[in-house]
């Protein structure tokens, strides 16, 4: 029996699914047996981000009683296992969200770490995903609307008995009006596990259907996600400091085309 983490957010558009996909791949790169479940059965897009779109059997089929959950497991980058939700409207109409709890139980029998990509908000399917995970990682951006919705999600998770491990503050450093980590922690009363800086490589990687941790492993966002993965499993990992050139080095490079 493994350990499960629901990755949730109070509002959409904060990068929750991108973080889930990349965190799963990073954990697999550290040698862990990882399964990612896209529990957002209405607005699924994890399969697009991780390069597994168009699979024949998806979670929709499982929740419709037409397939076994093991038939909907696919191998992704670094060996991570992925259960795509499916993006067809026909599959969505047949899916019964009440069966999701049974799916979670079966997945936990065959994996070391289960990551559950929860729908944003606090509708019934999101509540099921939050309640189904042993632990919760709360994703937000450093602005007041996101913080307000994150607080509501944290309160609900706590009432459901889910262990709220901490927050992941995404897309930091892009605005002077960003909330500080101290302000976020004061409101949420949980630790900030990692801050992930605004990074154009994330958008580029998603456009190519490839996780940023494999496409641009040295980018700032990749390094932050790998640090989070390492901390989750008790592995030492230090984010490398960015290389800098002094004035003389830059001048020599410009004049002679070499370093």
Number of domains in the chain: 1
pTM: 0.91
The CATH number that applies at residue 86 is 3.40.50.300
**Pairing verdict, β 113-117 and 3-8:** parallel
pLDDT of residue 253: 57
CA distance 59 to 94: 11
pLDDT of residue 89: 62
90 band by pLDDT with thresholds 50, 70 and 90: low
Beta strands in the chain (DSSP E): 3-8, 34-38, 74-75, 81-83, 113-117, 135-140, 163-172, 192-197
The answer to whether 49 and 36 have CB atoms below 8 angstroms apart is no
The whole-chain average pLDDT of the chain stands at: 91
- Residue 200, CB-side half-sphere exposure with 13 Å CA sphere: 0
Provide the angle, in degrees to the nearest 10, between the axes of the packed helices 144-160 and 181-188. Answer: 40
Q: Residue 51 is part of which domain span?
A: 3-256
The answer to whether 93 and 66 have CB atoms below 8 angstroms apart is no
Lowest-confidence segment of 53-57, 76-80, 209-213, 245-249 by average pLDDT: 245-249
- Residue 11, CB-side half-sphere exposure with 13 Å CA sphere: 15
Hey, which residues does 8 pair with through a beta bridge?
138
């Amino acid at each position: 029996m493994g350990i499960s983490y629901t990755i949730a957010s109070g509002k959409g558009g904060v990068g929750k699914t991108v973080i889930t996909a990349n965190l799963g791949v990073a954990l697999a790169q550290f040698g862990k047996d990882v399964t990612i479940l896209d529990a957002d059965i209405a607005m699924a897009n994890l399969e697009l981000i991780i390069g597994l779109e168009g699979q024949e059997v998806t979670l929709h089929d499982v929740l419709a009683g037409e397939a076994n959950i093991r038939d909907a497991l696919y191998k992704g980058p670094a060996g991570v296992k992925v259960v795509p939700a499916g993006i067809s409207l026909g599959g969505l109409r047949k899916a019964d969200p009440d069966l999701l709890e049974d799916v979670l139980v079966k997945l936990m029998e065959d994996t070391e770490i289960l990551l559950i990509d929860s729908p944003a908000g606090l509708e019934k399917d999101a509540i099921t995903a939050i309640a189904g995970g042993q632990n919760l990682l709360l994703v937000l951006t450093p602005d007041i609307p996101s913080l307000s919705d994150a607080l509501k999600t944290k309160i609900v998770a706590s009432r459901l008995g889910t262990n709220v491990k901490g927050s992941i503050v995404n897309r930091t450093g892009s605005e002077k009006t960003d909330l500080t980590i101290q302000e976020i922690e004061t409101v949420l009363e949980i630790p900030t596990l990692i801050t992930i800086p605004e990074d154009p490589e994330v958008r580029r990687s998603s456009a190519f259907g490839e996780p940023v941790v494999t496409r641009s492993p040295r980018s700032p966002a990749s390094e932050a996600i790998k640090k989070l993965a390492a901390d989750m499993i008790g592995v030492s990992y230090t984010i490398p400091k960015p290389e800098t050139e002094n004035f003389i080095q830059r001048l020599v490079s410009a004049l002679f085309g070499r370093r």
